[in-house]
Amino acid sequence: MTVACVLSLITLCGVQKAKMQDELLNLMVGKWHITREFPKRKAENTATIEWVLNDHWLRIDMKDVEKPSQYEAHVYITQMVSDKSYAIHWHDSFGGTLPEVLGTGRRVGDSIVFSFKDVDGELRNTFAWHGDRHEWTSKIEQTDKAGKWSVFCTDTYRKVSATHSAGKH
Protein backbone atom coordinates (compact mmCIF):
# COMPACT_ATOMS: atom_id res chain seq x y z
CA MET A 1 0.00 0.00 0.00
CA THR A 2 1.43 3.39 -0.92
CA VAL A 3 1.92 6.22 1.54
CA ALA A 4 -0.76 8.26 -0.28
CA CYS A 5 -3.28 5.44 0.17
CA VAL A 6 -2.49 5.14 3.89
CA LEU A 7 -2.85 8.90 4.37
CA SER A 8 -6.14 8.89 2.45
CA LEU A 9 -7.47 6.09 4.65
CA ILE A 10 -6.43 7.93 7.80
CA THR A 11 -8.25 11.05 6.62
CA LEU A 12 -11.38 9.14 5.58
CA CYS A 13 -11.52 7.27 8.88
CA GLY A 14 -11.36 10.49 10.86
CA VAL A 15 -8.06 9.63 12.53
CA GLN A 16 -6.48 12.88 11.37
CA LYS A 17 -6.16 15.33 14.25
CA ALA A 18 -8.51 18.31 14.14
CA LYS A 19 -7.00 21.70 13.41
CA MET A 20 -5.68 23.40 16.53
CA GLN A 21 -6.75 27.01 16.93
CA ASP A 22 -5.90 28.32 20.39
CA GLU A 23 -7.77 31.58 21.11
CA LEU A 24 -4.78 33.16 22.88
CA LEU A 25 -2.29 32.14 20.20
CA ASN A 26 -4.69 33.39 17.51
CA LEU A 27 -4.02 36.90 18.83
CA MET A 28 -0.40 36.54 17.67
CA VAL A 29 -1.24 36.01 14.01
CA GLY A 30 -0.12 38.86 11.76
CA LYS A 31 2.86 41.09 11.06
CA TRP A 32 4.66 42.65 14.04
CA HIS A 33 7.40 45.13 14.86
CA ILE A 34 9.45 43.98 17.86
CA THR A 35 11.50 46.17 20.17
CA ARG A 36 14.03 43.99 21.98
CA GLU A 37 15.44 45.43 25.21
CA PHE A 38 18.61 43.79 26.50
CA PRO A 39 20.36 44.95 29.68
CA LYS A 40 22.88 47.06 27.72
CA ARG A 41 21.33 47.59 24.28
CA LYS A 42 18.19 47.61 22.16
CA ALA A 43 17.42 45.91 18.85
CA GLU A 44 14.59 46.15 16.34
CA ASN A 45 13.05 43.07 14.72
CA THR A 46 10.12 42.20 12.53
CA ALA A 47 8.00 39.06 12.73
CA THR A 48 5.43 37.33 10.60
CA ILE A 49 3.28 34.96 12.63
CA GLU A 50 0.92 32.43 11.06
CA TRP A 51 -0.65 29.01 11.52
CA VAL A 52 1.15 26.30 9.51
CA LEU A 53 1.10 22.54 9.03
CA ASN A 54 -2.68 22.21 8.85
CA ASP A 55 -3.07 24.77 11.64
CA HIS A 56 -1.34 22.55 14.21
CA TRP A 57 1.63 24.87 14.75
CA LEU A 58 1.94 28.62 15.13
CA ARG A 59 5.12 29.75 13.34
CA ILE A 60 6.94 32.93 14.33
CA ASP A 61 9.44 34.08 11.68
CA MET A 62 11.54 36.74 13.40
CA LYS A 63 14.38 38.74 11.88
CA ASP A 64 16.31 41.81 12.94
CA VAL A 65 16.16 44.89 10.71
CA GLU A 66 19.94 45.17 10.23
CA LYS A 67 21.33 44.84 6.70
CA PRO A 68 22.62 42.18 6.60
CA SER A 69 20.52 40.63 9.33
CA GLN A 70 22.45 39.59 12.44
CA TYR A 71 19.66 37.53 14.01
CA GLU A 72 16.89 35.31 12.69
CA ALA A 73 14.62 32.85 14.47
CA HIS A 74 11.96 30.35 13.46
CA VAL A 75 9.78 29.48 16.43
CA TYR A 76 7.03 26.85 16.42
CA ILE A 77 4.36 26.63 19.13
CA THR A 78 1.56 24.09 19.55
CA GLN A 79 -0.87 23.07 22.25
CA MET A 80 -0.77 19.46 23.38
CA VAL A 81 -4.17 17.80 23.06
CA SER A 82 -3.56 15.43 25.98
CA ASP A 83 -3.18 17.98 28.79
CA LYS A 84 -3.54 21.44 27.17
CA SER A 85 0.12 22.22 27.85
CA TYR A 86 2.21 23.84 25.13
CA ALA A 87 5.35 22.85 23.27
CA ILE A 88 7.80 25.30 21.71
CA HIS A 89 10.68 24.69 19.30
CA TRP A 90 13.07 27.67 19.05
CA HIS A 91 15.56 27.61 16.17
CA ASP A 92 17.76 30.64 15.57
CA SER A 93 20.90 31.85 13.87
CA PHE A 94 22.96 31.13 17.01
CA GLY A 95 22.50 27.40 16.51
CA GLY A 96 21.94 25.45 19.67
CA THR A 97 21.58 21.88 20.72
CA LEU A 98 18.87 19.76 22.21
CA PRO A 99 17.26 20.12 24.68
CA GLU A 100 17.74 23.90 24.83
CA VAL A 101 15.68 24.50 21.66
CA LEU A 102 12.73 22.52 23.05
CA GLY A 103 10.51 23.93 25.76
CA THR A 104 7.23 23.17 27.46
CA GLY A 105 4.66 25.69 28.58
CA ARG A 106 1.58 26.30 30.67
CA ARG A 107 -1.04 28.98 30.25
CA VAL A 108 -1.50 31.37 33.16
CA GLY A 109 -4.29 33.86 32.39
CA ASP A 110 -3.33 35.74 29.22
CA SER A 111 0.25 34.43 29.36
CA ILE A 112 2.08 31.28 28.37
CA VAL A 113 5.17 30.50 30.42
CA PHE A 114 7.67 28.32 28.55
CA SER A 115 10.53 26.54 30.33
CA PHE A 116 13.75 25.28 28.78
CA LYS A 117 16.46 23.29 30.57
CA ASP A 118 19.97 22.33 29.57
CA VAL A 119 23.32 21.59 31.20
CA ASP A 120 23.96 25.33 31.80
CA GLY A 121 20.73 25.94 33.70
CA GLU A 122 17.18 27.05 32.98
CA LEU A 123 15.56 29.56 30.68
CA ARG A 124 12.03 30.88 30.98
CA ASN A 125 10.19 32.74 28.21
CA THR A 126 6.85 34.29 29.17
CA PHE A 127 4.66 35.39 26.26
CA ALA A 128 2.03 37.76 27.67
CA TRP A 129 -0.92 39.36 25.84
CA HIS A 130 -1.77 42.92 26.93
CA GLY A 131 -5.30 43.40 25.57
CA ASP A 132 -5.56 46.99 26.73
CA ARG A 133 -2.58 47.93 24.50
CA HIS A 134 -3.06 45.19 21.86
CA GLU A 135 0.58 44.19 22.39
CA TRP A 136 2.53 41.09 23.28
CA THR A 137 5.61 40.93 25.43
CA SER A 138 8.10 38.10 25.55
CA LYS A 139 10.24 38.23 28.69
CA ILE A 140 13.22 35.89 28.55
CA GLU A 141 14.89 35.06 31.86
CA GLN A 142 17.75 32.69 32.59
CA THR A 143 19.62 31.26 35.55
CA ASP A 144 23.32 31.60 36.16
CA LYS A 145 25.50 28.78 37.48
CA ALA A 146 24.36 29.58 41.04
CA GLY A 147 20.69 29.30 40.02
CA LYS A 148 19.96 33.04 40.29
CA TRP A 149 17.40 34.36 37.75
CA SER A 150 18.09 37.44 35.58
CA VAL A 151 16.39 39.03 32.59
CA PHE A 152 18.10 38.25 29.28
CA CYS A 153 15.75 40.48 27.26
CA THR A 154 12.20 41.74 26.99
CA ASP A 155 10.55 41.89 23.56
CA THR A 156 7.53 44.11 22.88
CA TYR A 157 5.45 43.09 19.86
CA ARG A 158 3.40 45.87 18.20
CA LYS A 159 1.13 44.97 15.29
CA VAL A 160 2.10 46.50 11.96
CA SER A 161 -0.91 48.15 10.33
CA ALA A 162 -1.68 47.51 6.66
CA THR A 163 -0.95 51.19 5.96
CA HIS A 164 2.42 51.07 7.76
CA SER A 165 3.48 47.81 6.09
CA ALA A 166 2.70 49.27 2.67
CA GLY A 167 5.22 52.03 3.35
CA LYS A 168 2.64 54.75 4.02
CA HIS A 169 2.97 56.67 7.29
Task: Indicate whether 9 belongs to any domain.
Answer: no
Separation of alpha carbons 51 and 66, rounded Å: 26
Q: In angstroms, rounded to a whole number, what is the distance separating the alpha carbons of residues 129 and 66?
A: 27
Does 68 reside within a domain? yes
147-167 pLDDT, tens per residue?
A: 999 999 999 999 998 655 444
pLDDT of res. 169? 36
**Which tens digits make up the pLDDT trace of 54-100?**
999 999 999 999 999 899 999 999 998 889 899 999 999 887 665 56
Does 155 map to a domain?
Answer: yes
Residue 8 lies in a domain: no
Residue 5 lies in a domain: no
Report yes or no on 6 lying in a domain.
Answer: no
Domains: count for the chain = 1
Q: Could you list the residue range(s) of the whole structural domain that residue 51 is in? A: 22-165
Would you give the end-to-end CA distance of the chain in angstroms? 57
In a domain, 14, yes or no: no
DSSP letter string, 107-151: EETTEEEEEEEETTEEEEEEEEEETTTTEEEEEEEEE-TT--EEE
The per-residue pLDDT of the chain, averaged, comes to: 85
Residue 109, in any domain of the structure = yes
% residues pLDDT > 70 (the chain): 80
What are the helix (H) ranges across the chain? 3-12, 23-26, 162-165
Range scoring the smallest mean pLDDT among 5-9, 90-94, 108-112: 5-9
Q: What is the CATH number of the domain that holds 149?
A: 2.40.128.20
